[in-house]
C-alpha cells in the first residue's frame, strides 16, 4: 500500500502543475476528474495486490473483496487529492519526486513493519496520519488477513474519508489559486 501511495502521490503531484496550467473548466471538476482517473488506473493494481497475488501465493485472504475495494477506493482518492493539492504549487514536475521519495523511509517505519508502533512516540505517529497509507494499511490488513468487516475498521474508514475530503478541498483551492496566478501573469 505504501508503494502504491508513493507512486500515485509522485505521479499526481508531478502532473498537477501541468494539468492546472492547461486545464479548461473549473477547479472542482478538474480535481474530481483527475481523482476518478487515478481511481480507474489504480483499481487493477489493487486487484492484483489484494486479491490475485495473495491467492496465487497461498497467503491468507479472509476479507470480503467488496469491503477491501471500498476501503481501498477511498485510500486512492485521498492519495490522489493529496498529490494534486501539493503538486499544484510546483513549477517543476520532478520536485514532487524528490520530496515524496524523502518521506518514504520514515513512512515505512511508521507502518509498524520494521519498527514496533508501540515504540514510536505518539506525536510522531500523529504526524504520520497526514498520509493516507497510515490508515489504509491498518484497515486493509485487518480486513484482508483477519477477516474484519468494514464496520470493524470504521476508525480507518472515517479517517480516510476525512483525509479525502480535506485534501479534495485543498486541491480545489490550490488549483483555483494557481490557475488564477497563471491567467494573470
pLDDT digits (tens, 9 = 90+) for 22-80: 666 788 999 999 999 999 999 998 989 888 898 899 888 888 999 999 999 999 999 99
Q: Is 62 helix (H, G, I), strand (E, B) or coil?
A: coil
Assigned domain for 21 exists: no
Residue 111 has pLDDT above 70, yes or no: yes
The pLDDT assigned to 114 comes to: 80
Number of domains making up the chain: 1
Higher per-residue confidence, 185 vs 109: 109
Assigned domain for 114 exists: yes
Assigned domain for 72 exists: yes
Assigned domain for 14 exists: no
Assigned domain for 19 exists: no
Residue 162, all three cell numbers: 476525512
Burial of 65 (0-12, 13-18, 19+ CB in 10 A): middle
Residue 18, all three cell numbers: 501541468
Determine the average pLDDT of the residues in 118-134: 91
Assigned domain for 131 exists: yes
Work out the end-to-end distance of the chain between its first and last CA atoms, rounded to an integer number of angstroms.
40
Assigned domain for 17 exists: no
Domain enclosing residue 83, as ranges: 2-8+26-184
Residue 130 vs residues 26, 73, 137, 183: alpha-carbon distances, Å: 26, 17, 13, 31
The pLDDT assigned to 184 comes to: 67
The pLDDT assigned to 21 comes to: 64
Assigned domain for 20 exists: no
Amino acid at each position: 500500500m505504501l508503494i502504491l501511495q508513493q507512486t500515485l502521490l509522485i505521479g499526481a503531484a508531478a502532473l498537477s502543475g501541468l494539468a492546472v496550467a492547461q486545464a479548461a473548466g473549473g477547479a472542482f471538476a478538474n480535481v474530481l476528474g483527475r481523482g476518478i482517473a487515478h481511481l480507474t488506473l489504480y483499481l487493477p493494481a489493487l486487484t492484483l495486490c489484494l486479491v490475485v497475488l495473495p491467492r496465487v501465493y497461498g497467503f491468507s485472504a479472509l476479507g470480503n473483496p467488496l469491503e477491501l475495494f471500498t476501503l481501498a477506493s477511498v485510500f486512492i482518492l485521498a492519495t490522489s487529492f493529496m498529490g494534486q493539492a501539493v503538486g499544484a504549487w510546483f513549477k517543476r514536475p520532478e520536485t514532487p519526486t524528490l520530496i515524496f521519495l524523502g518521506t518514504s523511509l520514515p513512512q515505512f517505519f511508521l507502518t509498524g513493519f520494521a519498527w514496533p508502533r508501540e515504540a514510536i512516540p505518539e506525536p510522531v505517529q500523529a504526524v504520520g496520519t497526514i498520509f493516507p497509507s497510515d490508515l489504509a494499511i491498518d484497515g486493509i490488513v485487518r480486513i484482508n488477513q483477519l477477516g474484519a468487516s468494514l464496520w470493524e475498521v470504521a476508525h480507518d474508514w472515517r479517517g480516510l474519508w476525512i483525509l479525502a475530503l480535506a485534501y479534495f478541498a485543498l486541491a480545489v483551492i490550490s488549483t483555483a489559486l494557481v490557475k488564477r496566478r497563471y491567467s494573470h501573469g
